[in-house]
Structure 1
């Protein structure tokens, strides 16, 4: 049979040219030409991205997100018309809010019905799945969307889309192609890929460098706040360099990467939703915010009105956030790595007051050490129940420099960051967004990105449900991406309870302890992974069982099997009824 060179062939070639390694695919009736082109390529040993069959679209996009978060390289997701687009669910939100580059392609129902072109409607579903504005489903989250209307310029559209995705602020892009167009025969087009590179990183203006450095060096109590500087691992080194040279403490506010070594003497903890004022933030006379969407929550925690705030970010306007503002003296749109290089070079040329810097270094070191001593006290076994602090400390013992931690612990986000004591850039990350279920697919993507790494996914029981674990563990076995999942299981959604108490601390819900969030009777969560993907599965209910269970789980990974430990924490129904700070997300 003579092979055809179609729009679908050109599309797949363009992905390969752009450096895409994997297509996370959930094919449907709109993809015959794509499937035919892939089959022809396999038959002729033609190099194209590898297809990863993804039985659920949420998992597909989460896997692409995880791969891109580890490597910085955008991958592709292929879904079925508007139904598959909607089934991407919250993963699109995570990709947008986490600024993760990915190309999403969806087919579209055929636009002919009487055989006018190859691919014309021949199934009843083609009428039902024809909607007025398919691209509008995700337009509020994508950096770029377009419809492929011709085979002749399809490569240019793909490369343009990926250029958008990979340029700061990075994010998802969406292309849609009707079946007739994707079946259209065409002539091959050569693309010079070096002409389609991402936009070069932006830098601070010369006057901005001088102003920030002058403010930091004159300040008595300077402070740095960051959330995602660590998405570029080289940025961490430059942040350490600036902090060490001027003895500036660093706070991580709602982090979704390892931004600064937790064990470093200038690291002064984490900020989340606690209803209390951070003392360092309140006392600061100059704050440098670098790469942070939510550097503080001003209702209860903010710098003083006399404090000078300087803000550096690739998206300082937060263009996708209708309500957002902080009282910054100046906002700078710049790449954090480039900006820190500039600031450090300027600082290195100055004559500084070394005595004042050393006094501050000693004071901040004492604060750091006091914090860590307090954290260590909470890691002790206390009674018959497993505390999240003790669980995290035990997990820390089985990690090394070759481990990637995925944190979707929800009400235990802060606990995980505090007690993992992450030191290495790239060693811990979160979704960057607020849609739950990222961790499962992201673990597959992270393992594909770096097969030699040990991937450990830490999740709440609620977010475990959201992750579609049956799909996740089927994929993990099929594509040889074993990882360890540890469920922080309190048998319910704790965060909505905390959110309610944060607004109504003395309300009726607190009085009656009725929040409609408990999962009683509990499910066999680990058993889902065992049934779907042959994972090692175990429920752990007593502190004495924990370390041996972790040992057995690691042994399963060595055998090439995934493992899931369902660790029972104190139940949300058994906790004392008392006001508490709200959770990070709605679930």
Structure 2
């Protein structure tokens, strides 16, 4: 391999290959879907796709993130989605890699983060399998391993079907309430030699649906209830990191003079140094937060992670409760991660951010002030930037040298 250019150290020298393969189309689909990174631990079941990411795309858009374990790969995608608000892709080797990554997929499901998980199996056609090794890496219904905690899964049997599956998986993963989706690609589809590549779709025509607006009557009732409240409280739950949404959330709290509680189990949703923020973000509410809830007359839950459990811990609650959430759409009969069922006076079936904007509009509240950029704080006891690196212990001089 030639010395890579400065600033582009992970750019491979592409192999001098001719021809086109099914995996080349799959790789181009990832690029067309706007996937910036793909986390993977290499495995033979997706050797075709791995090759195409290197030799067709040049490890760029998406760039590969090499991991040492499938659970690490999924966890990286989980963290990226929480920060960036958009999915990256993960590739898991056959059903064995899928089983390794299953715990992390469940974590992503519980956290409601978008993620495009690709897998591989087969060849599904038994006549194409190599003895032993291909047989132990083939599953008739691989998605069954994780079907209870992904939004959607598929195992397409042809290249055109794979194109449609990836489009659908991307749309569903990004649609609120977001979550992981899974597409298992047959080895024989990946390694299919193509005389002519099928045309790629117009990706602009396969976007997630527009966000649902809350019911106008419900918004009017909620706004009136909050405006007339003496002690309103906002439970700031699973909200977006968009600065416009953040500013409007703070503006609503300030106009209502509402006390705000946050949850350490989810991303930041309200400035904890704000005068209206009460108690501290925690796994379980403390006495101070409980007193805030007990004294409230109206509670606005913005997709709070566990409203029923929180109110139970607080004790006697006499407040009327408004909930803004779409999470009920993901509840199924397998897991209980959806928590208890809270009594509600108004349930706005929309994202919490759409509800905040609608209520703020109803009350004539402005856009608020966008949060400023804060400097990155160095880690505690971090060495100065010009500190010389320390040699590993096995290279340090010793008395025996």
Q: Which bin holds the TM-score, normalised by the shorter protein? A: 0.7 to 0.9
Aligned to 2:162: 154
Distance 1:328 1:148 in 2: 42
Classify 1:113/1:201 alpha carbon distance in 2 versus 1 (closer, same or farther; 3 Å). Answer: closer
Q: Deviation digits for residues 25-63 of structure 1, max 9, x if unmatched?
A: 122121232233234325xx5954111211111111111
Q: Deviation digits for residues 188-211 of structure 1, max 9, x if unmatched?
A: 312111111112112211111110
1:214 to 224, 236, 252: 224
Distance 1:232 1:559 in 2: 39
Aligned to 2:353: 337
CA contact (8 A) 1:283 1:303 kept: no
Aligned to 1:52: 65
Aligned to 2:13: none
SS of residue in 2 equivalent to 1:309: strand
Aligned to 1:34: 49
CA contact (8 A) 2:40 2:66 kept: yes
CA contact (8 A) 2:234 2:258 kept: yes
Residue 297 of structure 1 pairs with residue 340 of structure 2: no
1:313 Cα offset (Å): 1.2
Q: How does 1:152-551 map to 2 (within 5 A)?
A: 152-186=160-194, 187-270=197-280, 272-273=283-284, 276=287, 278-295=290-307, 296-302=309-315, 304=317, 306-316=318-328, 319-320=331-332, 322=336, 324-348=340-364, 401-403=374-376, 550-551=380-381
1:69 to 82, 105, 110: 82
SS of residue in 1 equivalent to 2:43: coil
Residue 555 of structure 1 pairs with residue 384 of structure 2: yes
Distance 1:215 1:558 in 2: 59
1:93 Cα offset (Å): 1.4
Q: Deviation digits for residues 511-538 of structure 1, max 9, x if unmatched?
A: xxxxxxxxxxxxxxxxxxxxxxxxxxxx
Classify 1:172/1:554 alpha carbon distance in 2 versus 1 (closer, same or farther; 3 Å). Answer: farther
SS of residue in 1 equivalent to 2:77: helix
Q: Deviation digits for residues 344-389 of structure 1, max 9, x if unmatched?
A: 1111289xxxxxxxxxxxxxxxxxxxxxxxxxxxxxxxxxxxxxxx
CA contact (8 A) 1:235 1:336 kept: no
CA contact (8 A) 2:109 2:149 kept: yes
Q: Deviation digits for residues 174-230 of structure 1, max 9, x if unmatched?
A: 000121121123423121111111121122111111101111111211111122224
SS of residue in 1 equivalent to 2:130: coil
Classify 1:281/1:11 alpha carbon distance in 2 versus 1 (closer, same or farther; 3 Å). Answer: same
CA contact (8 A) 1:13 1:48 kept: no
CA contact (8 A) 1:7 1:154 kept: no
Classify 1:341/1:9 alpha carbon distance in 2 versus 1 (closer, same or farther; 3 Å). Answer: same
Q: Deviation digits for residues 119-147 of structure 1, max 9, x if unmatched?
A: x3225222223345321111111111001
Aligned to 2:3: none
CA contact (8 A) 2:112 2:179 kept: yes
Distance 2:39 2:268 in 1: 27
1:122 to 130, 133, 152: 130
Residue 78 of structure 1 pairs with residue 91 of structure 2: yes
Classify 1:155/1:254 alpha carbon distance in 2 versus 1 (closer, same or farther; 3 Å). Answer: same
CA contact (8 A) 1:167 1:199 kept: yes
CA contact (8 A) 2:252 2:365 kept: no
Give 5+ residue unaligned stretches, structure 2: 1-15, 367-372, 391-401
1:253 Cα offset (Å): 3.6
Distance 2:53 2:36 in 1: 14
* Structure 1 length-normalised TM: 0.57
1:309 Cα offset (Å): 0.5
Q: Deviation digits for residues 315-346 of structure 1, max 9, x if unmatched?
A: 24661454530011121111222221111111
Aligned residue pairs: how many? 360
* Structure 2 length-normalised TM: 0.82
